[in-house]
């Protein structure tokens, strides 16, 4: 039982490049989330999903897209990376919106 | 506008003493509160939670107190141990509307340092 895993752990991008961050959970959770953590800012919600095939915007969605084609996977895409997207990205999952969220280990992204 | 505030960026406590971490919130719709612990280069891990229908929840060395009238919660760690050195995030959630979920609203975190 791996819990929540994230791929890759670290990535360097040039401005304008695209990439996809993968989150996988093996707990059969319905809800999945993408957060970013910046120094002095805590964690901020980017997008979330309440089930397979659904996605919704969070607090800071601009510049990101997401997809939830399979229940266990939640993908975060950057179509044209910008230096402002340099951050640590965390994925989380939960049974419901009132249940504890379980986090992955994070993906550190540097955009030059 | 910050809805969840942790006003102490850092806190230093001697090993064996009590650590008290504080959190204030402004959104009266929040009804579920959590504390997460985070070590460097790791994801946040759940520590303890409390529903708004309670004013106290205890789990071993960790106790969370909720004062709804003051919109304030605190995490008490007794006794503090070296392994407790980490960043602690306070988080809150409101009931989802229309079947949706808004995730958790996090504070900026408090770095707890336990001194030997």
**What single DSSP character describes residue B71?**
T
Contact B45 A103 (CB under 8 A): yes
Q: Under a CB-based contact definition with an 8 Å cutoff, are residues A105 and A22 in contact?
A: no
Contact A45 B42 (CB under 8 A): no
pLDDT digits 0-9 by tens, B72-113: 999 999 999 999 999 999 999 887 644 345 678 899 999 999
Which pLDDT belongs to residue B102? 63
Q: Is A1 helix (H, G, I), strand (E, B) or coil?
A: coil
- The edge-to-edge listing of strands for the beta sheet with B72-77 is B4-5, B19-25, B72-77, B62-67, B56-59
Provide the CA B48 distance to its chain's centre, in angstroms.
8
Query: Closest Cα to residue B107, out of B21, B42, B43?
Result: B21
The mean pLDDT of B66-77, rounded to a whole number, is 97
Q: For residue B67, is pLDDT > 80?
A: yes
Q: Is A20 helix (H, G, I), strand (E, B) or coil?
A: strand
Contacting B residues, span 47-86, partner chain A, CB-CB under 8 Å = 49
Residue B79 tokens read as: 């006794």
pLDDT digits 0-9 by tens, A62-82: 999 999 999 999 999 999 999
pLDDT digits 0-9 by tens, A7-36: 999 999 999 999 999 999 999 999 999 999
């Amino acid at each position: 039982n791996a819990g929540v895993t994230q791929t890759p752990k670290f990535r360097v991008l040039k401005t304008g490049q695209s990439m996809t961050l993968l989150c996988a959970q093996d707990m059969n959770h319905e809800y999945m989330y993408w957060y970013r953590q910046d120094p002095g800012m805590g964690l901020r919600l980017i997008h979330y999903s309440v089930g397979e095939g659904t996605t919704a915007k969070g607090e800071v969605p601009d510049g990101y897209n997401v997809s939830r084609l399979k229940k266990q996977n939640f993908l975060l895409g950057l179509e044209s990376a910008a230096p402002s997207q340099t951050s640590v990205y965390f994925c989380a999952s939960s049974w419901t919106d009132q249940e504890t969220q379980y986090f992955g280990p994070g993906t550190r992204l540097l955009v030059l | 506008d910050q809805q969840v505030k942790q006003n102490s960026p850092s806190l230093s406590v001697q090993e064996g003493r009590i650590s008290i971490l504080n959190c204030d919130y402004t959104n009266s719709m929040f009804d579920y509160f959590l504390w997460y612990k985070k070590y460097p280069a790791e994801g946040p891990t759940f520590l303890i939670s409390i529903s708004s229908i309670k004013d106290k929840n205890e789990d071993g060395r960790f106790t969370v107190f909720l004062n709804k009238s003051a919109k304030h919660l605190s995490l008490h760690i007794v006794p503090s141990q070296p392994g407790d050195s980490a960043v602690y995030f306070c988080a809150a959630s409101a009931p989802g509307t229309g079947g949706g979920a808004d995730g958790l609203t996090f504070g900026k975190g408090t770095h707890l340092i336990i001194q030997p």
